[in-house]
A and B are shown apart, each in its own frame.
Chain A
């Protein structure tokens, strides 16, 4: 999961101060690991350097806190590409996927597409594993099966999430 893309996604709904960004992030995704201020400024600095955000205005006062960031067109494209790119299927994937789904919902994009894309990617890998399993010896089969079962669990999560997208959108809107 990339904090940069997430913060970009949050900015899409409107310019914000760094402090607000941190709060919004923590509220949605930071249950286990809240962001440090330092992380936010470092990330924003990188995004600024890459031209994905711009500083819309600096209010009078002291400290970095006074900068208001806004997303650039390049930033929007970057978010778009990030969302469209399926995650590499691997264990403990859901936090990244979850972030993407939420960002998609927040920015008015199709979360369903994200899930479908991810599904296909998962299935593609599962096909490969299945094929490898069919041609391999027992140890290959056991190893492949381990991966398959994990991927299957992800798929179940994808299906379940897909079925609850409407509910999730409602909660986010509140």
Chain B
């Protein structure tokens, strides 16, 4: 094994321009259980950051706070300089429709809609006309190599295909940030690898930043850098500097 030099992709958190999405001092508890206890996080445009940590460490909660799905008990989240918690619920929803995309581990496709309709759904929610939305959805399905399942319902496709449909759905509205919470958690290694390759490639093509929550190192290896959440705090391991 020859040592490798860092390539241009290896983004550096210390660079000068303002981060796209930044959280400082996040606190969040569910009942008496603290999920986040002063977590900090930053991501720049086009960057892929893996959020790692043991189960129950608060990874998913961090993602939910960053995406404005959950309001933190303390601390702030800034997206493009705007503070998320200052926005109304409706504005945050609108922001999620226009600027964010989501991939989850499972149970995310509407079982009644066809795969094509599922991919078109966020586009339509954002106001795109049905015909245009479905045309773009078809292009994305093609790009993720699942054009053949367009007319099938999620219950009729394999796990790997379903996850690619979900990735297509997350990317179709051309979001600035994609939030992926254990996107390969329910997949075998081959399908997981392929899904990650397609996700990261598409994200790099479209310039989307990716917040990748995972406990799998091989998945995290698709990132530019990693953040470890431990006991509700996010740390950037020193050696990455």
Direct A–B contact present (CB less than 8 angstroms): yes
Q: Which A positions have Cβ atoms within 8 angstroms of B?
A: 86, 88-90, 113, 116-131, 134, 147-149, 151-152, 155-156, 159, 163
Query: Are A120 and B218 closer than 8 Å at their CB atoms?
Result: no
Query: Are A127 and B10 closer than 8 Å at their CB atoms?
Result: yes
* Contact flags B210-241 to A (C-beta < 8 A → 1, else 0): 00000001101111101010000001011110
Rounded to whole angstroms, the CA-CA distance of A134 and B9 in the bound complex is 14
Main secondary structure of the interface of A (DSSP, over half): helix
Query: Are B197 and A120 closer than 8 Å at their CB atoms?
Result: no
Query: Are B217 and A152 closer than 8 Å at their CB atoms?
Result: yes
Query: Are B221 and A127 closer than 8 Å at their CB atoms?
Result: yes
Given contacts A120-B226, A120-B240, contact A126 B1 (CB under 8 A): no
Q: Which B positions have Cβ atoms within 8 angstroms of A?
A: 1, 3-4, 6-7, 9-10, 54, 197, 200-201, 217-218, 220-224, 226, 228, 235, 237-240
Residue in B1, B201, B222 whose CB lies within 8 Å of A90: B1
14 residue pairs bridging A and B, Cβ less than 8 Å apart: A116-B237, A116-B239, A117-B237, A119-B228, A123-B220, A124-B239, A125-B1, A127-B10, A127-B222, A134-B197, A134-B200, A134-B201, A155-B217, A159-B54
Please indicate the chain A residues that have their CB under 8 angstroms from the CB of B1 in the complex. Answer: 89-90, 125, 147
Rounded to whole angstroms, the CA-CA distance of A101 and B119 in the bound complex is 49
Rounded to whole angstroms, the CA-CA distance of A125 and B7 in the bound complex is 11
Q: A123-B226, A147-B1 are in contact. List 4 more A-B contacts (CB 8 A).
A: A86-B239, A116-B228, A116-B238, A163-B54
Rounded to whole angstroms, the CA-CA distance of A118 and B228 in the bound complex is 13
Please indicate the chain B residues that have their CB under 8 angstroms from the CB of A124 in the complex. Answer: 4, 6, 239-240
Distance to closest chain B CB from A90 (angstroms):
6
Q: Nearest residue in B to A156 (C-beta to C-beta)?
A: B217
Please indicate the chain B residues that have their CB under 8 angstroms from the CB of A88 in the complex. Answer: 3
Distance to closest chain B CB from A157 (angstroms):
11
The 7 closest A-B pairs by CB, nearest first: A120-B239, A126-B221, A128-B4, A120-B237, A130-B221, A117-B239, A155-B217
